[in-house]
């Protein structure tokens, strides 16, 4: 494949028993992918096998740990036209067709990930056997990259697992386990990994026998077979398929429900899932050939869409971050054998959870009294139980993770912790106190990491005897779910400390960005002006509903006012004060916050904020579906101002991305890549827009600076464009351009 000399990804092993094994082993790559030229290679192998007249059965298996991770995303990201992408899809379809119609049965032996084009290869084989392993996952994740399966997957998957299950898999992009795949009929059997190859060969022989029997005429069935078949037909899944999928009104219902669900989730921002529904439908209504054609057309158009480009860029950024140590210095992270966590509240218990359940590390969890510890352990238990319920964890693993967490009200056991992460109250005096206590119990190289969301780390480090070991590890709530960790380094933080904490974060399952210290670091700093602008809009008379709806339509998971309710209005106010002090009028909060706090409306935790919440078992819960209209009276606002949703969204987004550019210019960020990843994975910035910097690049640096200036003239200094805009405009580059001046970064070396 490609320009790899004689090194090929596919190798045939001819066996004496007239079987052959195709070993898939992409050269120079940790995973198997379908790279440029894969068609030629498949054709070469299939021709060689076709010439072997004695051949009876073939198995396709990976020589690596995983089966196939799909098409090469770097390749998908380089199409210059829809025509070119459509061409690739057609080529892939032809290869799959050749596999499917190969005269000798080819069975895919699947262990590890079998995703995207990988699953399409497996679907085109005549049989599929999967290994009984947690590592084995099968899925069509293309919509997560802004495209759809382009090698026949939209046509073969519904025919194999049924329409409803195929829609679920293709539209969600979620992968399923081997057992689920067997239940759906996606794989024919699940076997222990050591016998995978042999089981696949046996299955291929079974397929030959079946073909021969079919040739000989219809089988004579006994009474027992008939009963078995009837029971199978009457299974709930089959009945459902009969009722919904085997007739036109039932199918129409499935398609319209699927579309409704997709639009409710994506607000029309993502063309891929909508196109996927159309393509699947075309194949079912008009037949396979028409389905393949529509699939290739849609794949071609989607592959060059801005959404796909942005989502693929995010995947590549995330992959690059997996290898980034967080520092430009050549250092090796130190081994972490044990973690200490201070504070068993929501954040502390979340940090303990990811340290034990994800990283597999022993954790000492300290709080002031047993009541608080009990609360923390309960919340850890709930997270673990949820994993078990979703079958992402076995009860055995849950018990093991729980056993790793040792609660304490003293510092006993902290002496041997390599990293202590504090999640105590957001108060500098308390942070100083716990820092001194931790240092009194540990050695000079014990790392002290603060989970503060706003206090500058260098201020916390002032109380330390060895500030080179003090760092920020900023997790996001709920810690088990939000994928980002922001590591904050001061000028004094030692590079080995940075590398160790970044590596720890990755073990905890996080995507980690390392940023330079400063008020609000990166994520809090860009979130504050966004939320602040929402309160300005509210004060001007735009309704809570219109504000939140506009930002959800823009692509955020929840609106800014709902977000304030979730975070706590008092917490937002505290952070706003810190940022206002650091950055002056640009971050001056609207008076709304003070008034809400004076009325004891702290958001969800107090049952009232912008929305109203119900108390269940003593705790306020619920999504806050109802806006609490008394907020208008309290703030003396008449919600009569009507603005276009686009204008509302841009009013909030512009200050956010402007602040991101300030962070770039101030050297808080190490790269535009980190800024994009931080905003998307930490704050829910719409992934299909790629992040603040890709958003600016797409719209144009001058265009965004112009929009900011427009609002600056109307609404004041908080919209003044950050200086880096002018610098980039002068150079004529975007932030992701190779020629873009990098952010000042001496603090990271």
Question: Which chain residues interact with ligand COA by CB under 6 A?
Answer: 30-31, 33, 69-74, 113, 115-117, 141-142, 145, 319, 322-323
The secondary element (H helix, E strand) that includes residue 513 is strand 511-516
Nearer to ligand COA, 454 or 671 (CB): 671
Distances (CA, A) of 477 to 257, 376, 474, 587, 681: 32, 14, 10, 23, 12
DSSP per-residue letters across 323-387:
T--SSSS---PPP---EEEE--SHHHHHHHHIIIIIT---EEEE-SSHHHHHHHHHHHHHHHHHH
Shortest Cβ 121–ligand COA spacing (Å) = 12
Nearer to ligand COA, 78 or 600 (CB): 78
SS3 call for 315: helix
Per the residue annotation, which of 41, 164, 486, 659 is the catalytic one?
A: 486
Cis amide linkage into residue 357, ω under 30° from 0? no
Shortest Cβ 572–ligand COA spacing (Å) = 35
Nearer to ligand COA, 131 or 543 (CB): 131
Candidates 532, 572, 556; CA nearest to 695 is 556
Shortest Cβ 117–ligand COA spacing (Å) = 6
Tell me, yes or no, if 491 is annotated catalytic: no
**Residues sharing a CB contact under 8 Å with residue 272, sequence separation 6 or more, in sequence order:** 142, 143, 146, 147, 148, 302, 305, 307, 308
Shortest Cβ 17–ligand COA spacing (Å) = 33
Residue where the block lists tokens 């198995």? 59
Nearer to ligand COA, 302 or 419 (CB): 302
DSSP per-residue letters across 216-275:
H-S----HHHHHHHHHHHTSHHHHHHHHHTSSHHHHHHHHHHHHHHHHHHHTT--HHHHH
- C-alpha 370/C-alpha 525 separation (Å) is 35
DSSP per-residue letters across 662-692:
HHHHTT-SS-HHHHHHHHHHHH---GGGTSH
Shortest Cβ 62–ligand COA spacing (Å) = 12
DSSP per-residue letters across 528-596:
HHHHHHHHHHHHHT--HHHHHHHHHHHT-SS-HHHHHHHH-HHHHHHHHHHHHHHHGGGGPPPTHHHHH
CB 519 within 8 A of CB 648: no
Q: How far is CA 183 from the centre of its chain?
A: 26
Shortest Cβ 90–ligand COA spacing (Å) = 16
Nearer to ligand COA, 628 or 676 (CB): 676
Shortest Cβ 8–ligand COA spacing (Å) = 18
- C-alpha 274/C-alpha 305 separation (Å) is 14
Strand-by-strand arrangement of the 176-177 sheet: 113-115, 137-139, 176-177
Shortest Cβ 560–ligand COA spacing (Å) = 31
Nearer to ligand COA, 319 or 409 (CB): 319
| DSSP state letter for 491 | T
Nearer to ligand COA, 84 or 214 (CB): 84
Candidates 359, 362, 666; CA nearest to 501 is 359
Which two tokens mark 428? 């500098």
Nearer to ligand COA, 306 or 568 (CB): 306
Output the CA angle 703-705-710, nearest 5 degrees: 95
Nearer to ligand COA, 431 or 736 (CB): 736
- C-alpha 701/C-alpha 474 separation (Å) is 30
| DSSP state letter for 71 | B
Shortest Cβ 319–ligand COA spacing (Å) = 4
CB 570 within 8 A of CB 597: yes
Shortest Cβ 326–ligand COA spacing (Å) = 16
- Name the residues annotated as catalytic: 486
């Amino acid at each position: 494949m490609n320009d790899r000399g004689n090194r090929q990804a596919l190798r045939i092993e001819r066996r004496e028993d007239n079987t052959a094994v195709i070993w898939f082993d992409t050269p120079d790559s940790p995973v198997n992918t379908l790279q440029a030229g894969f068609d030629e290679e498949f054709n070469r192998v299939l021709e060689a096998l076709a010439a072997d007249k004695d051949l009876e059965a073939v198995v396709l298996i990976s020589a690596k740990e995983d089966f196939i991770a799909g098409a090469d995303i770097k390749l998908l990201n380089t199409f210059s036209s829809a025509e070119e992408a459509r061409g690739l899809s057609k080529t892939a379809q032809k290869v799959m067709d050749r596999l499917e119609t190969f005269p000798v049965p080819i069975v895919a032996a699947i262990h590890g990930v079998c995703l995207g084009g990988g699953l399409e290869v497996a679907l085109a084989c005549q049989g599929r056997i999967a290994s009984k392993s947690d590592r084995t996952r099968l899925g069509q994740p293309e919509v997560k990259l802004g495209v759809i399966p382009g090698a026949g997957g939209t046509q073969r998957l519904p025919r194999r697992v049924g329409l409803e299950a195929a829609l679920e898999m293709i539209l969600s992009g979620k992968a399923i386990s081997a057992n689920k795949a067997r239940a759906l009929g996606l794989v024919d059997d699940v076997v222990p990994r050591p016998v995978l190859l042999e089981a696949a060969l046996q299955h291929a022989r079974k397929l030959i026998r079946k073909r021969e029997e079919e040739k000989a005429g219809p089988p004579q069935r006994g009474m027992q077979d008939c009963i078995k078949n009837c029971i199978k037909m009457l299974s709930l899944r089959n009945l459902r398929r009969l009722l919904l999928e085997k007739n036109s009104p039932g199918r129409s219902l499935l398609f319209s429900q699927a579309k409704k669900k997709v639009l409710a989730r994506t607000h029309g921002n993502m063309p891929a899932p909508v196109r996927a529904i159309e393509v699947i439908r075309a194949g079912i209504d008009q037949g396979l050939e028409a389905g393949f054609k529509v699939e290739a057309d849609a794949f071609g158009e989607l592959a060059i869409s801005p959404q796909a480009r942005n989502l693929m860029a995010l995947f590549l950024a995330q992959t690059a971050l997996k290898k980034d140590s967080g520092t430009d210095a050549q250092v090796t992270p130190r081994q972490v054998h044990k973690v200490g966590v201070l504070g068993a509240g929501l954040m502390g218990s979340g940090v303990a959870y990811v340290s034990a359940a994800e990283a597999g590390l022993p954790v000492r969890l300290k709080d002031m009294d047993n009541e608080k510890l009990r609360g923390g352990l309960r919340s850890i238990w709930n997270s673990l139980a949820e994993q078990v319920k979703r079958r992402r964890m076995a009860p055995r693993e849950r018990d093991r993770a729980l056993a790793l967490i040792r609660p304490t009200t003293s510092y006993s056991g902290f002496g041997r912790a390599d990293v202590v992460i504090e999640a105590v109250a957001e108060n500098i005096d308390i942070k100083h106190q716990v820092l001194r206590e931790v240092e009194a119990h540990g050695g000079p190289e014990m790392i002290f990491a603060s989970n503060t969301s706003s206090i500058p780390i260098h201020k916390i480090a002032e109380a330390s005897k060895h500030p080179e070991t003090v760092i920020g590890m900023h997790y996001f709530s709920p810690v088990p779910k939000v994928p980002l960790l922001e590591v904050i380094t001061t000028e004094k933080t030692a590079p080995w400390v940075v590398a160790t904490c970044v590596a720890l974060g990755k073990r905890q399952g996080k995507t980690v960005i390392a940023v330079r210290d400063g008020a609000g670091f990166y994520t809090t700093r860009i979130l504050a002006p966004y939320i602040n602008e929402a309160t300005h809009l509210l004060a001007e008379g735009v309704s809570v509903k219109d504000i939140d709806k506009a930002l959800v339509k823009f692509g955020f998971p929840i609106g800014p006012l709902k977000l304030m309710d979730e975070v706590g209005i008092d917490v937002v106010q505290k952070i706003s004060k810190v940022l206002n002090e650091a950055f002056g009028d640009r971050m001056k909060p609207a008076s709304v916050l003070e008034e809400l706090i004076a009325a004891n409306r702290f958001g969800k935790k107090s049952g009232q904020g912008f929305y109203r919440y119900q108390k269940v078992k003593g705790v306020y819960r619920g999504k806050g579906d109802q806006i609490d209209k008394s907020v208008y009276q309290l703030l003396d606002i008449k919600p009569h101002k009507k603005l276009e949703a686009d204008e509302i969204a841009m009013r909030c987004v512009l200050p956010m991305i402007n602040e991101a550019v300030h962070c770039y210019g101030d050297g808080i960020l190490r790269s535009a890549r980190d800024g994009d990843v931080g905003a998307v994975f930490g704050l829910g910035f719409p992934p299909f827009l790629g992040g603040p910097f890709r958003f600016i690049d797409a719209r144009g640096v001058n265009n965004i600076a112009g929009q900011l200036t427009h609002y600056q003239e109307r609404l004041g200094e908080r919209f003044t464009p950050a200086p880096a805009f002018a610098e980039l405009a002068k150079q004529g580059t975007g932030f992701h351009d190779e020629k873009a001046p990098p952010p000042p970064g001496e603090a990271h070396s």
